[in-house]
Structure 1
Amino acid sequence: MNHRRLVGTAVGAVLLLTAGLQALAAPAAPDVEIIKAEFGIFEDDGSDQLGFGATSEIPLTPGQPYGWLIEVKTTKKSLAIREEILIPQDTVAASGSNESDPAMPAMRESLLSLNERRIPVSDGMIFGERRIRTEDKAGRYRLRVYVERKLTATFDYSVLASVPSSSPEANSASSPPPKKTTSAGAKKAGRKW
């Protein structure tokens, strides 16, 4: 029996196995890279593009468009999106929670709305638009956006019944209005909510 041949074959097999495991362990390049995410108000001027002002305060005006813009780097033509709109516990008491029972913890948030769909990527941008409905209520909300099943952005925002004109922020010259941008990627959505 040739021991050199057996040892050489065993060493070769270990090297091949090690190289194969290293190849499997090497992280693959991500399909989608998130560059920037913003939340705010959309302004529809009648053209094929939407103006956008970054803000966390949305007026309770039926029909007011608001939502998010996310700049992405990807070769995909469309992306799977999941949106969850939540109401924080301190805004609305969780129904049926029993704070005296430690086995039944109170919910931290209540799911108000869930939406899943594919969104086309346009000039490196994706966006989600919603509109204030007549049945919407003033209050604090949280929006979670998942892109390709990964939590990408969490936005905390308030829907305001009215903006007090006597507030220090409204009269302060150091507090500019929300930044307005027009993005070529933020073309009008084919479907409105």
Structure 2
Amino acid sequence: MTQATFGLYRTEQAGQAMFEPTRVVPLTAGQQYGWLIRLRTDRPRIRWREELTLPSPPRTWGKEKIGTRVLAANNRSIVTEREVRADSGYIFNAWKVEPGDPSGHYAITISIEDGPSRKFAFELK
């Protein structure tokens, strides 16, 4: 991992995706947020593991089923594991604010290929 950043994903009027680093996510339905990591690797595919922890259970965890997802018994955290192409040298993941998501302190911990993890803390408000 050479660089790891948390922030908002936005779509500009021209349709171009933009990433804006921040530690505050607006509690607005549809707002996308997540992480972007730059890697130095010659491997074509990378395995990553992400644990997202919320301050309290959400109304729903959504319908997306990309990769493997395991929900904790307390319904406050979910672990996602995926294998992705790393051709560009970047990997990322995004979540979308849904109606019923709780406000407060969130945390995301990412591990890549059994290497050291990176933790992001942020507020949804």
Q: Which bin holds the TM-score, normalised by the shorter protein? A: 0.7 to 0.9
Please give the alpha-carbon distance, in whole angstroms, between the structure 1 residues aligned to 2:16 and 2:43. Answer: 22
1:122–1:59 CA distance, 2 compared to 1 (3 A): farther
Please give the alpha-carbon distance, in whole angstroms, between the structure 2 residues aligned to 1:123 and 1:48. Answer: 20
Q: 1:149 offset after TM fit, Å?
A: 2.1
Q: Percent identity among equivalent residues?
A: 28
Corresponding position of 2:4? 37
Query: Under a length normalisation based on structure 1, what TM-score does the superposition of the two structures give?
Result: 0.51
Q: 1:46 offset after TM fit, Å?
A: 6.3
- Give the structure with the larger helix fraction: 1
* Structure 2 residue 53 is the aligned partner of structure 1 residue 86: yes
Please give the alpha-carbon distance, in whole angstroms, between the structure 2 residues aligned to 1:76 and 1:152. Answer: 19
Unpaired stretches in structure 2, ≥5 consecutive residues:
57-74
Please give the alpha-carbon distance, in whole angstroms, between the structure 1 residues aligned to 2:34 and 2:87. Answer: 17
Q: Which protein shows a greater Rg?
A: 1
Please give the alpha-carbon distance, in whole angstroms, between the structure 1 residues aligned to 2:94 and 2:116. Answer: 18
* Structure 2 residue 24 is the aligned partner of structure 1 residue 51: no
The runs of at least 4 consecutive aligned structure 1 residues that moved more than 4 Å come to: 46-49
Please give the alpha-carbon distance, in whole angstroms, between the structure 1 residues aligned to 2:20 and 2:47. Answer: 25
Query: Under a length normalisation based on structure 2, what TM-score does the superposition of the two structures give?
Result: 0.76
Please give the alpha-carbon distance, in whole angstroms, between the structure 2 residues aligned to 1:40 and 1:84. Answer: 16
* Structure 2 residue 35 is the aligned partner of structure 1 residue 68: yes
- Give the structure with the larger strand fraction: 2
Identify which of structures 1 and 2 has the higher relative contact order when contacts are C-alpha pairs closer than 8 Å and 6+ apart. 2
CA-based RMSD of the aligned residues comes to 2.0
Match for residue 80 of structure 2 among 115, 118, 141: 115
Match for residue 111 of structure 2 among 136, 146, 151: 146
How many matched pairs?
107
* Structure 2 residue 92 is the aligned partner of structure 1 residue 127: yes
Q: 1:39 offset after TM fit, Å?
A: 0.1
Unpaired stretches in structure 1, ≥5 consecutive residues:
1-33, 93-109, 161-193
Q: Is this contact kept in 2: 1:144–1:151, CA < 8 A? A: no
Question: SS of the counterpart of 2:39?
Answer: strand
